[in-house]
Amino acid sequence: MQKFNQLTGIAAPLDILNVDTDMIIPKQFLKTIQRSGLGKNLFDEMRYTPEGDEVPDFVLNQSAYRGAEILVAGDNFGCGSSREHAPWALLDFGIRCIISTSYADIFYNNCFKNGILPIVLPQADVDKLMDDAKRGANATVTIDLESQTIQGPDGGTISFEVDAFRKKCLLEGLDDIGLTMKKGAAIDAYENDLAAQPWR
């Protein structure tokens, strides 16, 4: 998993409440178990017409936001089904951080497991960042996980909270497998000891 320390990038405003996982990645794209290739179908039914043409008004189709790495979203982001394809699609598009007032629990946990930082802020702070994000190419925001701060385009700083263990995993780039592999020597020692037992 890619480490997350500091991120400076364009923030895209998605001022929609209750964005569910089917909106993030519709069910017809869930046949794959590959984590790559889903970015082109992120928000598919909002980004494209039924004929496959881009919807010009959708935020990620606008030239200023095509390379967005940060998403400022409405309340209750990631609700609906528990599909892990949702963070896969966001990450494959290039989104490394989401800022909202709240998330569905499973989606929130899946973000951390896939190298995405979901930040929870009060409504007033999200409103400020949403307004900043609407500046287009000037909507550059810096997320510093170590100091737990967000610096907006005007230089103002907002602090955020994050669980210490999840923060450590993101800083070190550790998913569940990575955490297990850190204990590799102890696991090998246990297996070797078990193999030497007389009942083996």
What's the CATH number for 6-174?
3.20.19.10
Q: What is the pTM of this model?
A: 0.89
**Does the pLDDT at position 200 exceed 60?**
no
pLDDT digits (tens, 9 = 90+) for 49-104: 999 999 999 999 999 999 999 999 999 999 998 899 999 999 999 999 999 999 99
pLDDT digits (tens, 9 = 90+) for 125-156: 999 999 999 988 788 999 999 999 999 998 89
Question: What is the chain written as a DSSP string?
Answer: ----SEEEEEEEEE--SS-BHHHHS-GGGTT---SSS-GGGTTHHHHB-TTS-B-TTSGGGSGGGTT--EEEE-SSBTBSS--THHHHHHHHHT--EEEES-B-HHHHHHHHHTT-EEEE--HHHHHHHHHHHTTGGG-EEEEETTTTEEE-TTS-EEE----HHHHHHHHHT--HHHHHHTTHHHHHHHHHHHHTSTT-
Domain residue spans in the chain?
6-174
pLDDT digits (tens, 9 = 90+) for 14-57: 999 999 999 999 999 998 888 889 999 999 999 999 999 999 99
